[in-house]
Structure 1
Amino acid sequence: MTSPRTPSGAPDPQASQAHSRLAAVRARLELPLVRRASGMLDGRHRSVFSGHGQDFDEMALYLPGDDVGDIDWKASASSGHPVIRRFERQSNLAMVLAVDTGRTMAALAPDGGTKADIARFVCDVIGYLARGRGDTLALVAGDAERIVQVPARGGTEHMEMLLRRIDTMLSLEAPPSNITHVLDRVLTWFTRRSLVVVVTDEVRPPLEAELTIKRLRTRHELLVIQVADALPTDFGTDPVEDVETPLGLPEFLRARGDMAAEARDAVARRRSDVAAMLRRYNVPTVTVASESDAVDRLADLLARSRRARH
């Protein structure tokens, strides 16, 4: 986990932002991307709440992208065209953001930006989609020393407050990461079946969290978004420090090709072990390496998890 060396006491640009986070994310999103991600969340609604939980609204022609489970075969046979039964949703989707706020989340990302900026943007997008759909969103954020819980509510004011809480917790001065602590709190706090979206490091949740993952998966829908980490050998002669153990890495070591290969292999092994654990419990996951690909990656994750349920 690496970070750029910056003067102590330098102002944090995020702390000075006073504008609406939801308005800012809306300005950055293209409408087709928003519709795609929101449509995937519609698919999650039926996965989280067994059965429709809805009142019949109308009959309509089947269109590509509609759920084939809604096709009324008798009406389709009579009309000669595929016809679906549309329902009016009665309950909103209950969502929980489970965010790793340990100091490694403020390290460098592969594109040279910070993982904290990527994590903030991912959370902003989720909050924006939840607000736009009228869903409720709760927060459990924390690390080895802190835990923050925000009950599930809807509306702009709630989403803005929730996102600001996440914003203030992501920094290099934060305690070490402990996403297992966060997941354990989700497990004990939420009894209503929900869609739990975990935002953490690319080599987490750790293998030690397997029992918690197993128990969460039986109670909730679970998605994991991993924020990619930069290798200390990726920045040539630029000085970097390790976030977890703040020691500078000498240039002559960073320049060694064998060291770079060994670092890549070690990360690949950890990624593979975590990925295998998540696959055992059918937990869809995606790795986000930059803000620019965050929405596409999130939409792909929702699409894959939706297909896995049908």
Structure 2
Amino acid sequence: MPSLLRRVKSKIFIFAHRRTLTLLDGEYGSVFKGRSLDFDELRAYVPGDEVRDIDWKATARHGSPLVKRYVAVRRHAVLLLVDTGRNMAAQALSGETKKDIAVHAAGVLGYLASRHGDDVGLLHGNSVDSKYLPPRSGEEYLERLLREVDASALLDSPASGIAEQLDYVLRYLKGRFLVVVVADEFLPDAGTENLMRRLRRRHEVLWLTVRDAELAAEAGSRMQDSTDVATGQGIPWPLSVDATVRAAYASAMLERERRRRGLFNRLGIAEEQTTGSENVLTAVFSLLEKHRSGTFNARTSAKGGTRAG
């Protein structure tokens, strides 16, 4: 079977030149800015040491100035939290399956982490169950994670329910992670919002949304009903091309998007949307940039297009 990671890397090098990769590396590295040092020991102050490194309590006990020494943390833990419910077997806005886009997005983010020497793990599942593969290093392990995602999001799987995976992290996983969520487009309810808030307090959280296909077919398209994979409900083709129905549908989608953006802004979670695999690099760059700068206001239109990175 062809390597999924090799396919991801091929797309990266097709759509990104060296400067783009350098920028992506820089934005990824900035996620851990201010969290890359661990306390090592105390030692005597010498001229040239930073005054802010003086441990005043230890100095008072010892009688002479002592400074804290730190060592760099050379490896961080990145958790790819991927929706593999039935919703992800549906078609995305680009015409690809959402699962294929999720594999590509997870591959890009995992590859960036591997380039920085970080461990990468996976938590995936649906509304019924979750499966956890702990963070480890190496591209062979990353390939295993991508295959796990690829094999799990099926049309006969239970529906998506990201709250199940958020709850799993909060209940069972110890330590601090960079949690990168790759999920279906949805509007969180109050319970899910509370889980997202708690997750944000404990971990660095980035959120990448895979955009839905349009349920309402455009006028002039071939005569085919649209179906929501998650619920089995559909819109008959004659109804979907009705101007009044289409206007109501567009208005509802705009309102839902406004509420989604407001929720992520309120929680302080950087979120970006991707419409297809060709858009993933741009979306990832924008997502990392938003997280670094702390600006979560929408830079995109309500239709979800991303600005060029």
Same fold (TM > 0.5): yes
- The answer (yes or no) to whether the contact 1:111–1:290 under 8 Å persists in 2 is yes
Contact 1:54/1:90, CA 8 A, preserved across alignment = no
RCO (CA 8 Å, sep 6+): is it higher in 1 or 2? 1
| Pick aligned residue for 1:173 from 156, 162, 167 | 156
Give the aligned partner of residue 289 of structure 1.
275
* Match in the other structure for 2:251: 265
SS in 2 for 1:233: coil
Q: Does 1:37 align with 2:24?
A: yes
Q: 8 Å contact 1:231–1:264 — kept in the other structure?
A: no
Structure 2 gap ranges (5+): 41-49, 51-69, 296-309
CA shift, 1:205, in A, is 4.0
Which residue of the partner structure matches residue 64 of structure 1? none
1:190, CA displacement in angstroms? Answer: 2.5
2:226 equivalent to 1:237? no
Q: In the alignment, does 2:102 pair up with 1:119?
A: yes
- CA 1:133 to 1:54, structure 2 compared with 1: closer, same or farther past 3 Å? farther
In 1, Cα distance between equivalents of 2:72 and 2:246: 53
The percent of aligned pairs where both chains have the same amino acid is 31
Shift of residue 238 of structure 1?
Answer: 4.4
Change (3 A) 1:114 1:238: farther
Q: Which runs of 5+ in 1 are unaligned?
A: 1-17, 56-71, 73-86
Look up the match of 2:263: 277
Q: Secondary structure at the match of 1:234?
A: coil
> 1:219 is matched with which residue?
202
Shift of 1:178: 0.6
How far is 1:222 from its partner?
Answer: 0.7
Tell me the number of residue pairs that the alignment of Structure 1 and Structure 2 aligns.
Answer: 260
Which of 186, 202, 208 is matched with 2:191 structurally?
A: 208
Report how far residue 264 of structure 1 moved.
1.9
Report the residue type matching 2:285 in the other structure.
A
2:112 aligned partner? 129
Contact 2:86 2:157 in 1 (8 A): yes
Task: State the structure with more CA Rg.
Answer: 2
Q: How has the CA–CA distance of structure 1 residues 54 and 156 changed in structure 2, closer, same or farther, with 3 Å as cutoff?
A: farther
Aligned-partner SS, 1:112 = coil
Give the letter aligned to residue 269 of structure 2.
Answer: V
Tell me the SS of whatever aligns to 1:45: coil
* Alpha-carbon distance in 1 for matches of 2:75, 2:251: 44
Deviation of 1:52 after TM superposition, in Å, equals: 3.4
Q: Is the 8 A contact 1:202 1:271 kept in 2?
A: no
TM-score w.r.t. the length of structure 2 is: 0.78
Q: Does 1:26 align with 2:12?
A: no
2:293 counterpart residue number = 307
Does the aligned pair in 2 maintain the 1:141–1:149 contact within 8 Å? yes
Q: Which residue of 1 aligns with 2:59?
A: none
> Structure 2 CA distance, aligned partners of 1:121 and 1:205?
24
- Shift of residue 191 of structure 1? 2.4
Q: CA RMSD, aligned part only?
A: 2.2
Residues 143 and 178, structure 1, Cα contact 8 Å, conserved in 2? yes
Q: Which residue of 1 aligns with 2:37?
A: 52
Which digits, 9 at most, give the CA deviation of each residue in 1:166-201, with x for residues without a partner?
A: 111122222111100011111123221211111112
Q: Secondary structure at the match of 2:78?
A: strand
Per-residue deviation, 1:247: 4.5
- The structure 2 residue matched to 1:106, chosen from 60, 82, 89, is 89
Deviations 1:10-48 (A, max 9, x none): xxxxxxxx122222211111233332222111101225x
With normalisation by structure 1, the TM-score equals: 0.77
